């Protein structure tokens, strides 16, 4: 489902519940899709019902994570942003909230985490910091 470092304690992608995250992984993996197509791709036991998946996808539309268009008698869904862009938005919002609410305590915790980070990871972070503004978190 998610990649390491991209999931929360409940197993969903950050900012999404477990079933929402599973649905979004299916949507992010392919072209615009329908509820029935997503349902057929979900690998869950027991499988959720059609109405459950439709309800969750409609909630994702309300959250702005999915877009819905009518094609004949069928609703077609697509992700308005890539998984990576979504994760950047979630991370930027969470960091801003933490810094606003906790101030220096949050910044000290980020710095402490960096002290123990893998050198290869630190090198990747430096590359991301040097990337053009359109590619950096929160941009």
Per-residue model confidence (pLDDT) at position 103: 92
Indicate whether 7 belongs to any domain: no
Per-residue model confidence (pLDDT) at position 1: 39
Q: Report pLDDT digits (tens) over 36-69.
A: 999 999 988 898 999 999 999 999 999 999 999 9
Backbone angles phi, psi at 118, to 5 degrees: -60, 135
Per-residue model confidence (pLDDT) at position 125: 86
Half-sphere exposure of 88 (CA within 13 A, CB side): 13
User: d(Cα 72, Cα 37) in Å, to the nearest integer?
Assistant: 16
Per-residue pLDDT band for 129 (boundaries 50, 70, 90) equals confident
Indicate whether 106 belongs to any domain: yes
What mean pLDDT is predicted for residues 96-105? 93
**Do 61 and 93 reside in the same domain of the chain?**
no
Per-residue model confidence (pLDDT) at position 70: 95
Half-sphere exposure of 103 (CA within 13 A, CB side): 1
**Do 74 and 97 reside in the same domain of the chain?**
no
**Do 93 and 125 reside in the same domain of the chain?**
yes
13 has pLDDT over 80: no
Indicate whether 6 belongs to any domain: no
Q: How many CB atoms lie within 10 A of CB 73?
A: 5
Q: Specify the number of domains making up the chain.
A: 2
Per-residue pLDDT band for 2 (boundaries 50, 70, 90) equals very low
**Do 98 and 131 reside in the same domain of the chain?**
yes
Give the total residue count for the chain: 139
**Do 39 and 57 reside in the same domain of the chain?**
yes
Question: For residue 32, what is the domain's CATH number?
Answer: 1.10.10.10
Indicate whether 5 belongs to any domain: no
73 has pLDDT over 80: yes
pTM for the full model? 0.72
Q: What is the largest CA-CA distance in the chain?
A: 56
Indicate whether 13 belongs to any domain: no
Structural domain including 124 reads: 83-135
């Amino acid at each position: 489902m998610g990649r390491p470092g991209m999931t929360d304690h409940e197993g969903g992608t950050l900012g999404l519940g477990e079933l929402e995250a599973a649905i979004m992984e299916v949507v992010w993996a392919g072209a615009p899709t329908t509820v029935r197509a997503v349902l057929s791709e979900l690998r869950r036991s027991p499988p959720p019902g059609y109405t459950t998946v439709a309800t969750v996808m409609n909630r994702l539309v309300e959250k702005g994570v999915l877009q819905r268009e009518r094609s004949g008698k069928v609703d077609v869904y697509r992700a308005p942003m890539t998984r990576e862009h979504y994760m950047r938005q979630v991370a930027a919002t969470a960091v801003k909230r933490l810094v606003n609410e906790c101030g220096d305590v949050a910044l000290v915790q980020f710095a402490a985490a960096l002290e123990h980070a893998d050198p290869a990871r630190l090198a990747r972070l430096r590359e991301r910091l040097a990337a053009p503004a359109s590619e950096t978190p929160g941009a």
